[in-house]
Amino acid sequence: MSAQHPASGIVHAQQAISWRQQRCNAASANHVYTNMNSPRYTFLAAMLLTVGTVVAQTAPNSGTITYETMRRFDPANMRININGQEIRPGGTMPNGATFNPPETMEGEESFQFGGGWAKRNPMARGGNRTFMMRGPGGGDGNGNTPPPTLTPEQMRRMEQMRNFRPPFEETQYTDLATGKTVQIMTITADSLHKESYRSETPVTRPADWQVTSKTKKLLGYTCQKITCTIKEQPCAVWVTTELPYTFSPAPQFTPDKGVVLAIESDDLTYRATRLNAGPVDAATLLPSADAKTVSADELREVRRKAMANFRQQRGMNMPMPNRE
């Protein structure tokens, strides 16, 4: 028998070790693959899928959504009536002061939702109300807050607007399945007599409503940008479809599907600041079925007459927007 070279024995030993290692690695991999089909791995995979499903279903079914708002008034549509004399912006009032109404009003609006309907809550008044006037009547016209020192006339008008109570109650309801808006107006003639009117508005939006690919997060929800034009001004509307209903705080900007969390234009802005989940009394969110049904034009006429009678009876000296 011929003698084997020492180096050759080393090579054979290394090959044997390498072959055994490959078999061990293959067996280990097969063990892992087999175990992934075991009940334990199946359970873990099911848990992961369940967690994903729960995350997708965290949208609240009821609660309150709150918006910061800004409205700009057109001075051409403002007027006051003093002793039968109508005075428009820039005119002189009996005390010699110039009538300069505020150009913008800022505040908060909140809506309760649940049971398939949403209802706008009355705006808070007094100390709980966020209220600011800007422009000639209460600021410098450059978007800055009113100065700390106001004239007596400015202070009087601000106090009037804070304490103003219209001669009727008007509440906006929204069908969350369709986005349809129902307006209920109740006029109180005296302590025993009330008249209620109901007007329905189908989903409406500007003719140039255009969905874009731009997105951003609001309140943790992904919103898609929609562009349009309102009163010859560009407007951006941000809509999320991650909430399972159709709603807009401003009915003229209602999407086919989804919830409007922001509206951005020069004359009107809404921005959702809070979405609080919680139980609500769904029965209180339903519009009254006993109110007299009228058209939108008829409701505007009822409102106009009620305001005219109210101003005449009270001799109210206060700027009011012309809503005709």
What DSSP string runs through 115-128? TTEEEEPPPP-GGG
Looking at residue 73, its pLDDT comes to: 75
Residue 189 sits at the vertex; the CA angle it makes with 185 and 191, to the nearest 5 degrees, is 110
CB hemisphere CA count around 230 (13 angstroms)? 20
Looking at residue 216, its pLDDT comes to: 98
Looking at residue 80, its pLDDT comes to: 72
3-state secondary structure at position 58? coil
Cα–Cα dist 77/72, whole Å:
11
Q: Where are the domains of the chain?
A: 6-56, 63-321
Task: Extract the tokens encoding 268.
Answer: 């009107």
Side chain identity at 6, as an amino acid letter? P
Handedness of CA 59, 114, 111, 264 (dihedral sign): positive
Looking at residue 306, its pLDDT comes to: 84
pLDDT digits (tens, 9 = 90+) for 166-181: 678 899 999 999 999 9
283-302 CB burial, b ≥16 within 10 A, e <16: eebebeeebeebeeeebeeb
Handedness of CA 284, 289, 295, 301 (dihedral sign): negative
Regions of the chain with pLDDT less than 70: 1-57, 81-84, 122-151, 153-166, 190-191, 313-324
For 65-106, give the DSSP string: EEEEEEEE--GGGEEEEETTEEE-TTPBPTTS-B----SEEE
Q: Phi-psi bin for 220: left (phi > 0), alpha (psi -120 to 50), beta?
A: left
